[in-house]
Structure 1
């Protein structure tokens, strides 16, 4: 949230922190001043605000509060306690080019996020602007194709005044697997364009990686590598980028790891008894701090695995049968205990915090930590498919007011 949008409760004149020496010394004001003038206690209070929007309100009180709220160490602690909230998701179907992506809010939303939720809902994306390929940190990445190639663009639904950023065009040859991966760096993004070329001119499939550095205007070749390990890439399971390694699903039960740092390729096998099929096994996005996760849905059971070192470790198992039964909604019924139930994963998020599942005509949101399942969308009869779900999260870090004495430190990027 931009502080300029917050209603001002006082006049435009110079404002300072409350001074207990010049105010009436009631027992309440004395106790309050002891708390508010103690940085350690004030930090504990700020940590309990819960939302970055509220944190910006607090930073407007005075310069001291702004210094405390925008401190990097404090923000790191705040984020661990209060991860960015899920505002909703963009629903897009690449198989229906005449339909534009639409935003579906996940309700109810807390009052503190009302403004940003309304802004995300009011943002529209025309069919001429392409399809959504990813949402990340309050931004929307779209891909549009024409005869001259592919054009990617970055939209900021929560800050539309910033306009749209166009990524330089790139070419994707026929019969070629290709993907563009945005990578957040500082106050902007770099982009990785990876493609696997296999044709009569090459004896082995070639992996080509081009990189567009943040602030650069030209794609540059980063590596070119011949390999047989990427001849069976799966199109139905999405790759992930974790710590400069691209994890690419392949064959029935392999994950090919392309290490951009060492320019090498290795293979990880899925856990024993697990194989890909009909969007029942996926790799979630991850911050890389804890490792790589894998999610499997088998009938009405969700299994979460973590790959660390050279081993797969079972992290959690969640039974959905009782949760689905309590929904009591058409298209989400579990009629027969012995009958196989069709359920697929549409999307999930960092470290498998939540999942979007498809069951019947319904899209369900599963909060892994709270073990809560709820319906967030129901497909109409005219819908041919669910399309792809792209979770849209609250921006982090928040944008604090720029102070005159130190503008660079406090003008944090959106």
Structure 2
């Protein structure tokens, strides 16, 4: 008796799409049935269809990018979460950014050309080295985002799976602000733009915020932020409210940009022993308003008295509403909605952390290969 004909790939995919998304092992077992099924569940097209079929699935935090001070070598370490399929890796980069499933690694210091810019997709294990932008700056920062989100801010049509990206670079030189955009579709930088600014100083090495049609960056002084309009490519400077303390900036610490529950721009700042959350509404010209104040001594269980003031080192992705604080040698994530603090990491080297950026993405547990480090200078894989 002849054996039955195998099902067509299209029919197998229709069956595999019905597997429950909250049971990751089911896809792994399906991939172990045979090589043919393994290729099906590992294909990027299947991942896209699986995500479209289960649109209610949110992006998941799969790891954290921890950037250390130049005194510690200036490396950025990728630390996966316990449930993440990704592996630890060290990058010779002084800064990182992450948005829409990608990671941007900066390999530059101040007073130099922006060099060593690499866009990394950890899920697909793909890295793209960017050419040097046509700029020489005293300070700079950059952000990576989906090209569709930059062209039509607020649009939800893109699922950020294998989509083209852009990198927005901003910086200062003298009394001017410069900006330039890299397009993955064109594989080239656009023409730089510049505008004068009034003594705002240097751009700070911190995470940007995407709100509607604009990206926001922080100046080192901690009293102003830079707005970059994605549609017009224009820049403008926005003043922040002064801290409610007589302490100088170096004692009350920097600000971290975030988004509020209503979608407006916000920022967090430590003032004495309180975490203050400010929000900005543009439509009614209300300016900045203090929306919440969290007593850190009540939510962070560390030994009293603190020998060092809690220091902001990062913020979560848009819509998450969380910031990262570092009292002593421990790292805490503070939920801005509930006011609760959760310990993320604790190690003597934590004291030298400059910035923490969470990596979030939608993930289907296909049979992944080990991350490759070939062709990427300064990248060293470390197995936990």
With the length of structure 2 as denominator, give the TM-score of the two structures.
0.67
Structure-to-structure mapping, 1:72-221, within 5 angstroms = 75=55, 78-79=56-57, 83-96=58-71, 98=73, 100-106=75-81, 109=82, 114=83, 117-121=84-88, 124-127=89-92, 130-145=93-108, 150-160=115-125, 162=126, 164-170=127-133, 172-173=135-136, 176-186=138-148, 187-198=163-174, 205-221=175-191
In structure 1, list runs of 5 or more residues that go unmatched: 1-10, 18-41, 199-204, 326-331, 401-414
More helix, by proportion: 1
2:257 aligned with 1:283: yes
Structure-to-structure mapping, 1:366-405, within 5 angstroms = 366-380=334-348, 385-393=352-360, 395-396=361-362
Structure-to-structure mapping, 1:228-307, within 5 angstroms = 228-229=197-198, 231-233=200-202, 235=204, 238-250=207-219, 251=221, 253-262=223-232, 264-271=234-241, 273=243, 277=250, 278-284=252-258, 286=259, 290-307=263-280
Provide the secondary structure at the position in 2 that maps to 1:321. Answer: helix
Provide the secondary structure at the position in 1 that maps to 2:352. Answer: coil
1:263 to partner: Cα distance: 5.1
1:74 to partner: Cα distance: 6.2
- Report the CA distance shift for 1:287/1:357 in structure 2 as closer, same or farther (over 3 A): closer
1:321 to partner: Cα distance: 2.3
Structure-to-structure mapping, 1:62-73, within 5 angstroms = none
Contact 2:167 2:182 in 1 (8 A): yes
1:194 to partner: Cα distance: 2.1
2:293 aligned with 1:323: no
Contact 2:113 2:135 in 1 (8 A): no
Give the Cα–Cα distance (whole angstroms) in 2 for the partners of residues 288 and 397 of structure 1: 25
Provide the secondary structure at the position in 2 that maps to 1:363. Answer: strand
Give the Cα–Cα distance (whole angstroms) in 2 for the partners of residues 94 and 375 of structure 1: 21
Contact 1:153 1:166 in 2 (8 A): yes
1:212 to partner: Cα distance: 1.7
- Report the CA distance shift for 1:192/1:287 in structure 2 as closer, same or farther (over 3 A): farther
Give the Cα–Cα distance (whole angstroms) in 2 for the partners of residues 232 and 131 of structure 1: 20
Give the Cα–Cα distance (whole angstroms) in 1 for the partners of residues 135 and 325 of structure 2: 31
Provide the secondary structure at the position in 2 that maps to 1:173. Answer: coil
Give the Cα–Cα distance (whole angstroms) in 1 for the partners of residues 147 and 344 of structure 2: 32
Give the Cα–Cα distance (whole angstroms) in 2 for the partners of residues 272 and 384 of structure 1: 27
Q: Deviation per CA, 1:67-87, whole angstroms, max 9, x where unpaired? A: 997585962xx15xxx42223
Select the structure with the greater relative contact order (CA < 8 A; seq sep ≥ 6). 2
1:254 to partner: Cα distance: 2.8
Q: Who is 1:348 aligned against?
A: 315
1:304 to partner: Cα distance: 2.0
- Report the CA distance shift for 1:54/1:139 in structure 2 as closer, same or farther (over 3 A): farther
Contact 1:379 1:386 in 2 (8 A): no
Q: Deviation per CA, 1:130-152, whole angstroms, max 9, x where unpaired? A: 34421334433222359986121
Q: Deviation per CA, 1:313-365, whole angstroms, max 9, x where unpaired? A: 4433333323323xxxxxx2133xxx896111111112452221100111112
In structure 2, list runs of 5 or more residues that go unmatched: 12-16, 32-36, 38-45, 149-162, 367-384
Q: Which moved more, 1:83-92 or 1:140-149?
A: 140-149
Contact 2:105 2:117 in 1 (8 A): yes
| Count of residues in correspondence between the two structures | 324
Bigger Rg over Cα: 1
Provide the secondary structure at the position in 2 that maps to 1:389. Answer: strand
Structure-to-structure mapping, 1:1-16, within 5 angstroms = 13-14=6-7
With the length of structure 1 as denominator, give the TM-score of the two structures.
0.63
Q: Considering only aligned residues, what root-mean-square deviation do their CA atoms show, in Å?
A: 4.4
- Report the CA distance shift for 1:258/1:156 in structure 2 as closer, same or farther (over 3 A): closer
Give the Cα–Cα distance (whole angstroms) in 2 for the partners of residues 360 and 94 of structure 1: 16
Give the Cα–Cα distance (whole angstroms) in 2 for the partners of residues 206 and 12 of structure 1: 69
